[in-house]
Amino acid sequence: MKTLKFKLYQHKRNRFLKRSINAAGVIYNHCIALHKRYYRMWGKHLNCTQLQAHIALRRKRKEFWQLVGSQAVQDICQRIEKSYQLFFKHHKKGVRPPNFKKVRKYKSFTLKQAGYKFLGGNRVKIGSKVYQYWNSREIEGKVKTLTIKRTQLGELFMVVVIDNTVAPEIKSETSRIAGFDFGLKVFLTISDGSQIESPQFLKQSLTIIKKASRQHSQKLKGSANRERARKNLVRRYEDVVNRRYDWFWKRAADLTDRFDVLCFETLNLKGMQRLWGRKISDLAFGEFLKILEWVAQKKNKQIIFIDRWYPSSKTCSNCGHVLTELDLSIREWRCPSCQSVNGRDENAAKNICAVGASTAKLGDVRQALPAIAV
């Protein structure tokens, strides 16, 4: 499976897609209300098939609901069903059931087998109208789903999921393995001694964002000036997100070109978020790992996560001696056994690399060698 994203041209006919998204939001809220009412009356969960049959009958009498295709309505019901199943399974872990959403903030609707047709070039027919999009790449493979998404700025994007059967490209092999230690001051410390500094995009733009937020809060609610200020604030945040994601993709491509096996420590990101708040959000290490995993899979590289409780910082990478305690403020420490001086982050990266190498499938990576500075 492969996902492609295209931006639709700005045109007055786009208002029909926006109205369809609003109609999908109304249907979504109606389904949530039915679930809550059914549970209050009977103490049972409403079946997805019954819900779809009910919505199909209501759509015949409500013209506004007919803006959404039947398959999009089925997708809404199925997503709500999936959310409730996850809630029933993991409610003890804090997972909440789906709830109502503001229609003007509702984001998308999805079409599966029908309701759209690609006309060639950069044109696609959705419903009875033809739309143009920025054809940045060719769609190769069988289209599985098509999703229309609306951003907070009112822009529309087309997300296409295809069943890509094209053979993968020949990937380079470096026969190297490396460990990586995530930090607040240094984004990644690599076991070969190199470091990757984080630009901290949110921190760079914080002054501009605060100014835009202050201007938005000073405008009269419901006025056109407030809406313009809101869009200006959204653009500032989108600029931060776009620059961060661009940096993530470039770093992921660089690391997968340099190493065949990449070892990381499993982190409690939610706990770190509670401790350091905005710093962790700015680094967005979880999002970086998602991108890195996708790139590594595409290039046939291997990513290994070691146990969260392994004492990577307290273990000497030279002799294996383990300290009983090591305060977070201590950045360097001398091993009482071999008298070697260990930098906290680099020592942890070396230990992560060693543990990862012991669990790596060396046959798949052709006996990868540790990337450790001597």
Domain boundary among 163, 192, 215: 163
Q: Could you give the angle at the alpha carbon of 199 between the alpha carbons of 197 and 204, nearest 5°?
A: 150
Q: Which of 108, 140, 102, 121 is nearest to 2 (CA)?
A: 140
Statement: residue 372 has pLDDT above 80: no
For residues 88 and 78, the answer to whether their CB atoms sit within 8 Å is no
Statement: residue 152 has pLDDT above 60: yes
Q: What is the pLDDT of residue 170?
A: 46
> What is the number of structural domains in the chain?
2
Residue 128 included in any domain:
yes
Q: Which of 251, 283, 255 is nearest to 267 (CA)?
A: 283
Q: Looking at the structure, tell me whether residues 33 and 159 fall in a common domain.
A: yes
Q: Looking at the structure, tell me whether residues 16 and 93 fall in a common domain.
A: yes
Q: What is the mean pLDDT of the chain?
A: 86
Q: What is the pTM of this model?
A: 0.81
Q: Looking at residue 249, which CATH number applies to its domain?
A: 3.30.420
Domain boundary among 106, 137, 163: 163
Residue whose tokens read 């229309």:
148
- Helices 285-298 and 224-258 cross at an angle (nearest 10°) of 50
Residue 235 included in any domain:
no
Q: Looking at the structure, tell me whether residues 197 and 331 fall in a common domain.
A: yes
313-366 pLDDT, tens per residue?
888 888 878 887 887 778 787 888 787 787 788 888 888 888 888 876 544 444
Q: Domain residues for 269?
A: 176-202+245-370
For residues 356 and 261, the answer to whether their CB atoms sit within 8 Å is yes
Q: What is the pLDDT of residue 374?
A: 34
Distance CA 324, CA 270 (A): 25
What token pair was written down for 352? 């992560």
Q: Looking at the structure, tell me whether residues 250 and 331 fall in a common domain.
A: yes
Taking residue 177's Cβ as centre, other Cβ atoms within 10 Å add up to: 26
Q: What is the pLDDT of residue 363?
A: 43
For residues 343 and 250, the answer to whether their CB atoms sit within 8 Å is no
3-state class of 351 per DSSP?
A: helix
Give the max Cα distance, the chain.
81
DSSP type of residue 300? T
Q: What is the pLDDT of residue 371?
A: 52
3-state class of 81 per DSSP?
A: helix
Statement: residue 171 has pLDDT above 60: no
